[in-house]
Every structure is written in structure tokens, then in C-alpha cells.
Structure 1
């Protein structure tokens, strides 16, 4: 797995956390973590099916808003491929890697609300 800290745009995350306030930012992080856990545990066939792709589409926005740039880009690639009708295995693999990395970051942020290495 890549360096998880490099997958998070600290400035974006901190700006959103300031704008939302600590409680709302923590709620958003929990929602993001729940979506990530659902996708992480989803079998391949469901992942690329309409319900999985709908979750990926929603996650794309959540990830971008919270500063998870790698995750947002991976979601965008799968979302775009899904709208064309077929998601390449390598796009799914990249998304799964981004999900694992983002979950690690969410775990680091959970409870403290601060970016790693701050």
C-alpha cells in the first residue's frame, strides 16, 4: 500500500473540517468510513453492478469533499467506466487499493479529527 498520508489533501480536509465544525466533520468522516467498509467487503460481481456503482458514484463526491483525492480519482474512473457499461478489472483493483488506503486514513483521523503528520 502506498503512503496513506499522500492520499489525503490536508489543506482541503482541514478547510472542510473548519467550515463544517468538529461534530459535523466527524459525522461526515463516519459516513465516508461506512461507505468505504461496505465497498471493501462487497464481492466483485456486486461491486460492478448498478447498486455498487451507485455507491461508488456517491463516494466520489464524499471523497473529493473530504480531501481524499486518490479515492475520488479512483471512484471517478470506475464511475465513468460503469456508465459506459463495463468496468475494467484494473480500475476495480485501483479503487480497492484506494479504499484500503482511505480506510487507514479514516482510522487515523477518527477520534482526533486532525490530519496525520500535523
Structure 2
């Protein structure tokens, strides 16, 4: 994050905390007076400005976006290697198990008394 983006973020967060504190104080005073008016416009504007400043600081300080095009993204993943590939587990998985062959194998094993199966 650059100094400018950090400054905007800190300024926005401090202003947001101040707006929240002002809203709390206003509601406390209004409760003591048994009045329920809306928040003053300056507190609403301070809150909106603080949120916009904080969001702008976050956006300016974020890392560059990755490409959206699938072929560009896949090319970058292949250049980087295996650890960054999110589909590596799917590409390297073993083939499906042949259930019928396994059942036949088990039936033969069970008929033979359940001994050790030879690997022929």
C-alpha cells in the first residue's frame, strides 16, 4: 500500500469512528430527553464520506487484478507451475475403481476362505 492509500484509509476509518461516536452521543442525549428524532444530516454525511474514503483507500492500496480471460489465466498458471494450479488434484487423481472387478475379486477371496490374495 502506498502512503496516499494508507492515509485515505486511516482518515476514513477515524472519521467513521467519529461518526459512530457522534451518533451514539446523539442517541444518548435524545433518550434522556425522551425524544426520538432522526440523526442530524452532518452525522449522516460524515458517515457516508468516511465510508467512501475508506473504500477508496482500500481500492487504491489493493494489488493489481488478475486477468479475466481464461486462456491468459490458464497460461499464467502453467508458467508458474504445479503449486498454484487449483485443478491439480483433479488432473492428478487416479482413475475410477472398477466395482465389478473388485466384487469378483472379493467373491473369489471369500470362496477361498479369506486368505491372502496373491498378486499375479
Higher relative contact order (CA 8 A, sep 6+): 1
TM-score by length of 2: 0.30
More helix by share: 1
TM-score by length of 1: 0.30
